[in-house]
Amino acid sequence: MRLSTGNMGDRQARNALRLRQLCSLVLVPVFLLSACGQSETDRVTDRDANAANPTGRSPGRTFLSPLVRSATFAAVSADESRAAEVGRETLLNGGNATDAAIAMYFALAVTLPSAGGLGASGACIVHNSKKLVTESFVFAPAAAPGPVNGVPFTVPVGVRAMTLMHVRHGQARWEQVVAPGERLARFGAPVSRALSRDLQAGAALLGADREAQRIFSGPGGAPLAEGDNWVQPELAATLGIVRSRGGVDFFQGTFARTLSDQISQMGGSLPLASLRNAVPQAGPPVSEGTGAFGRLRVYVAPPPMAGAAALAGWRGQAPGGAAPANSGGFSGLAAVDDKGNAAACSLSMGQLFGARMAVPGTGMLLGSPTPDAASVSPMIIAYPGSGEFVFAGAGGGAATASQATGAVARATVEDGQKVAAVLAARRGQGGYVNAIVCPEGLRGGAEACQTAIDPAGAGLALLAISR
């Protein structure tokens, strides 16, 4: 992967944007390299992509030279295929694992808003191998002051969390991580198998809200079907604002005022003070030592998120429940770059399609503060001394996904099983799991690294390697 400092104008614009972000987020300044170049995501069908990659491996991997295979590894995995493609392109265009995770978050807001929209709650864990720092970012669900016609919804905090992550650990330009999602919304993308499954299960749930029904309907008012080209101009405009003005505008700028006014017109209440005061928690994750002499550390999200459930799975407690037939309002993603940095996020709309209401003029669904909204936790395992990543995973599909992630981590890291075989064997159990594993770290060679998606899901795992 090639990095460039870019021209002086780019650096000044970037630094100005980050200064505005820092003033709002009250962070210590971090100056990082800027990545060059952007590209459109590939246009492949879910069916073709998953048939060609049943274990999540890149079809072109076998054609890499032995030198490259032994020295280079970078990968992404997500519960929706276009989001995974966006993550891969972000890595190939010079971004790091954090950049890829943020780009996939914004892509999921477009391609799988039923489980990962701008109104989603969640948690991310970022492992910085160079700084030897692992940090959690929790944006827990908090009910807005005024329900809409008796329906509660959450204060949207995800964009603020992504802004914070980018300032702390990002490498690419902010515009670079938001733009791919914006393009998918503006120019359209085929409805994925993942969204199609959610629509089959939940389209009727959207009927009470005219705006949501309009957004998710095709020509003639019929629900969108797999393969339909889905254009979302209002959401594209929202993401355009986030891209050009920075994430800060979403929670205390012009867009924040627009969002507050629109929700008031819907009959609810989301004062500007609620948006400004909804601050994601950034700090140390919950961790514990493992392996001989505690040489590895397992990192999960702190309370109120479901880190304890993830650790229970790691300690051998099998997750309960049956395999979900759809996302259930939960989604997960993970990314690893060729420097051994890792990022994983678990997202929840609270329930399928969240509060089942869309804010007019914005294209975004509101999240729901249901009990399951805090039942998420990603997991990262690393060598704390060398900074080498070993495991990055996050689950979706059910409230038991966090525990399932821990169980998959144990089987692959502690028991030495292949991740694709582990995921295939647990088919029929609760939750989906996206996992990227290097059992011996990158020093063990890229050939030992694996990435896979749960075959019961509808996501995609891809390698991202410069050639």
Q: What is the mean pLDDT of residues 393-399?
A: 90
Alpha-carbon distance of 7 to 304, in angstroms, equals: 43
Under the banding of pLDDT at 50, 70 and 90, the label for residue 41 is very low
The reported pLDDT for the residue numbered 11 is 46
The reported pLDDT for the residue numbered 446 is 81
The reported pLDDT for the residue numbered 372 is 67
How large a percentage of the chain has pLDDT more than 90? 68
pLDDT at 336 over 70: yes
Alpha-carbon distance of 115 to 119, in angstroms, equals: 10
The string of DSSP letters for 65-133 reads: -HHHHHH---EEEESSHHHHHHHHHHHHTT--HHHHHHHHHHHHHHH-HHHH-TT-EEEEEEEETTTTE
Under the banding of pLDDT at 50, 70 and 90, the label for residue 293 is low
pLDDT in tens, 203-216: 888 988 999 999 99
Cis peptide bond N-terminal to 302, omega within 30:
no
The reported pLDDT for the residue numbered 242 is 98
The reported pLDDT for the residue numbered 221 is 80
Question: 193: buried, middle or exposed (CB in 10 Å: 19+, 13-18, 0-12)?
Answer: buried
Alpha-carbon distance of 117 to 367, in angstroms, equals: 8
pLDDT in tens, 355-385: 999 999 999 999 999 876 568 999 999 988 8
Question: 313 and 403 in contact (C-beta within 8 Å)?
Answer: yes
Closest of 44, 188, 41 to residue 111, by C-alpha: 188
The reported pLDDT for the residue numbered 267 is 96
- DSSP type of residue 267: T
pLDDT in tens, 118-143: 999 999 999 999 899 999 999 999 99
pLDDT at 453 over 70: yes
Whole-model pTM? 0.85
The reported pLDDT for the residue numbered 429 is 83
Question: 458 and 356 in contact (C-beta within 8 Å)?
Answer: no
